[in-house]
Amino acid sequence: MTEKEEEASNRPVVLVTGCGKGGIGFEYCKHFAQMGCDVYASDVGSVENMQELTAQNARIKTLCMDVTSDESVAAGVEEVVREAGRIDVVVNNAGVGATGPLAELPLAEVQRAWEINCLGHLRVVQTVVPHMVRRGHGTIVNVGSVVGAVSTPWAGAYCASKAALHAASEALRLELRPFGIRVVLVMPGAIRSNFGEANLQRLRERKWGLYAPFKEAILGRAVASQGANSTCPSAFASHIVAKVLMPRPPRRIVFGRMAGLLGILSVAPLWLRDLYFSRRFGL
């Protein structure tokens, strides 16, 4: 083995989902590459919105991968394994919002949130795990949310999909331990990204029935994580990447604005939590 080949064999190979420009996945890729990893950035559809990544760092490659498709995930994982020989770290970051009152939100939107935010992660896990088992090690990072632990009004479908991912991650952590595979659950707080705006675009033209008087409050919830004081995505990604690449990464990483408050609310009496959210979200 040449010196160059030996160096490449020692660099962690990282696969990240949901890496479109303007999102947190985009920042994960940059920071993994800066830490000396070979990074595969994936997103649904065209790779054009990830071209800036490859221009910035030669260690980043891009591929199309739709986490809602068995065939697409299988093809994406095989492409990485064929080129790099292995996958050391998977960051399941792909996600979608779902804002609106549960009593009126179309079930198709609820289903889409679950399909991407939970089942999509599991689809990637089931495809990657056999490769990791053969090598006897690996790290799976599932990106949940602080609202997966504390559900908020007007985002029940999103919160529920993240809560399901949290539960699945807790089980996976123990089930994969015998194979040397670590599972890390990331729970972001309020992080600046294009996530809120994507939510808002879907909601502006929607006409609610019973909840028509609450339209402005619902729109406010769609961008609640995107205030001026929200955590910088680059700082957030830097913190998470450093933790994930530790020899013994933490089982859970909670970081970002509002994470502390929601942590307190998660153990507060229900009457206090209800009072806070009722006032915060116009109920």
Q: Which residues are catalytic?
A: 158, 162
Quick one: which of 243, 262, 93, 274 has its CA closest to 189? Answer: 262
The string of DSSP letters for 173-192 reads HHHSGGGTEEEEEEEE-BB-
Residue that has been written with the tokens 């609310």 in this structure: 265
Residue that has been written with the tokens 């999909």 in this structure: 161
- Please name the amino acid found at residue 18: G
Tell me how far apart the alpha carbons of residues 265 and 58 are, in angstroms, rounded to a whole number: 44
Tell me how far apart the alpha carbons of residues 126 and 148 are, in angstroms, rounded to a whole number: 22
What are the CA-CA distances from residue 111 to residues 8, 123, 187, 197, 246 (Å)? Answer: 41, 15, 22, 21, 35
